[in-house]
Amino acid sequence: MNTTFAYGQVDDTIELIGSRASAYDELVGRFGPLLREKARLGDEFAAEEVAPPAVDPARIAAGVPVLTGQDLSLWTKGFCRSARTLLPLLARAIGMERDVSDRFKQYFGDPKNILGLAQARIEGNWKHFENTSVQLFTQPDIALYVTETVSSPVFNAIAVTMGEPFSRENWGHGHCPVCGSSPSLAMLVPGDTANSEYLVGGGGAKYLHCPLCGHDWRYRRTACAACGNEDGETREILHQDGMKCERIEACHQCGKYMLTIDLREYASPPHPDAIQMGLIHLDVIARQRQLVPVSPTLWNTID
């Protein structure tokens, strides 16, 4: 199972969110154009068949993500093209001040700067974002979000080159095997008896979704993605009445939570990145219970 951007699926998901509740109208209006263009661009990169990364089976077996430690300069042109396309839409979506937007545009105009930020994101080099934010007169989390947004279509295309078989590898870790990111969403799909250790009571198989590269990997159905806890006494499922297909998986051992959608219950599967914009009400419930998301995103950190 591997998630591409798939413009049509993203567009359908945005329409689904807009049809549910008027409370989401503003977000759909602001971020819809950005999400759609991000999807279109991601589809283009995937169709162009970008160069695949080198895969070391020994590193994978040791739990080291594919892109960790790799030189990303092979994909510099893609990062630059994505930045030129998405920065204006991103600035409008988040209401970025004109002077800040201009500084980002100038900074991202240098391929070395874009590559440095993308590399820092993969390596988890937060200090690089702190230093960059000083140069741009902004906050480190803004520099991080901009970097993730403009680099995501490229990382997604890279993940697609790994192929479907890679997504079925028994990775077993709570971080992405391609880029190392923490998952932002869990998905339940029809079960596969060939991997019975990942199923419980005949239920669906569980996949975790990477918010950066879009890769989906199989994970233990009853385990917390943050700490691996499988104790039923310290894990809890929360959902709104009549919406069991969209829920919160809470772990009281580590205090973190993961949003989960059951793809078996949808007439048409929503796109895992886009649907998260329509699940903010669940993030609010989790926050009221003093829970922290496994992976902070724009949607689960909105005040």
Residue given tokens 């599967």 in the structure block: 269
- Confidence category of residue 49, pLDDT binned at 50, 70, 90: confident
Q: What is the pTM of this model?
A: 0.92
Instruction: Calculate mean pLDDT across residues 36-58.
Output: 90
Q: What is the pLDDT of residue 261?
A: 96
Instruction: Give the pLDDT confidence score for residue 5 in this predicted structure.
Output: 59
Report in angstroms the alpha-carbon separations of 296 from 193, 299, 301: 33, 8, 7
Grouping H, G, I as helix, E, B as strand and the rest as coil, residue 97 is coil
Per-residue tokens: 299 = 């949607």
DSSP 174: S
Domain ranges of the chain: 23-161, 166-301
Provide the mean pLDDT of the chain: 90
3-state helix, strand, coil in the chain (%, to 5): 50, 10, 35
pLDDT digits (tens, 9 = 90+) for 198-254: 444 456 799 999 999 999 999 999 999 999 999 999 999 998 877 778 999 999 999
Rg of the chain in Å (alpha carbons): 19
Count of C-beta atoms within a 10 Å radius of residue 219:
24
Regarding predicted confidence, which is higher, 163 or 93?
93
Burial call 249-288: b when 16+ CB within 10 Å, e when fewer:
bbbbbbebbbbbbbbeeeeebbbbbbbbbbbbebbebbee
Report yes or no: 258 and 294 within 8 Å, Cβ to Cβ: yes
Look at domain 166-301 and name its CATH class.
Answer: alpha beta
Residue 173 confidence (pLDDT) above 80: yes
CA distance 127 to 147: 14
Annotate 262-281 with three-state secondary structure.
Answer: EHHHCCCCCCCCHHHHHHHH
Show the 3-state SS of 118-166.
Answer: HHHHHHCCHHHHHHHHHHHCCCHHHHHHHHHHHHHHHHHHHHHHCCHHH
How does residue 301 score in pLDDT terms, banded at 50, 70 and 90?
confident
Model confidence at 68: pLDDT above 90: yes
Q: Is the pLDDT of residue 192 over 90?
A: no
d(CA 169, CA 98): 46
Cα dihedral across residues 30, 33, 35, 41: positive or negative: negative
Stretch among 6-10, 122-126, 278-282 having the lowest mean pLDDT: 6-10
* Length of the chain in terms of residues written: 303
Q: Phi, psi at residue 116, to the nearest 5°?
A: -65, -40
Residue 227: exposure state from Cβ atoms within 10 A (0-12, 13-18, ≥19): middle
